[in-house]
């Protein structure tokens, strides 16, 4: 299993940016990345303000056809 999720985080950042969405804290969760367990590292989506959460919700709804 490839534990380097940085390309995935970068791809998510790019996809969000294409919709005008920025999650400032988006990144690799360093605690899970440093672990040696069987679980893959997690992506930290971070915090965002209400306007960004609404924008993200709108984009996801449109993508789901709703």
pLDDT attached to residue 63? 92
Range list of H helices, the chain: 6-17, 30-34, 50-63
pTM of the model: 0.80
pLDDT attached to residue 1? 46
Per-residue pLDDT of 2-17, as tens digits, reads 568 899 999 999 999 9
**Structure token pair of residue 6:** 């940085």
Rounded to 5 degrees, φ, ψ at 15 are -65, -40
Per-residue pLDDT of 26-58, as tens digits, reads 998 888 777 666 778 889 998 899 999 999 999
pLDDT attached to residue 30? 83
């Amino acid at each position: 299993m490839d534990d380097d999720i940085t390309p995935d985080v970068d791809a998510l950042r790019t996809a969000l940016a294409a919709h005008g969405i920025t999650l400032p804290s988006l990144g690799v969760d360093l605690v899970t990345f440093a672990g040696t367990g069987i679980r893959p590292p997690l992506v930290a989506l971070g915090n965002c303000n209400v306007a960004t959460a609404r924008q993200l919700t709108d984009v996801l709804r449109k993508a789901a056809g709703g």
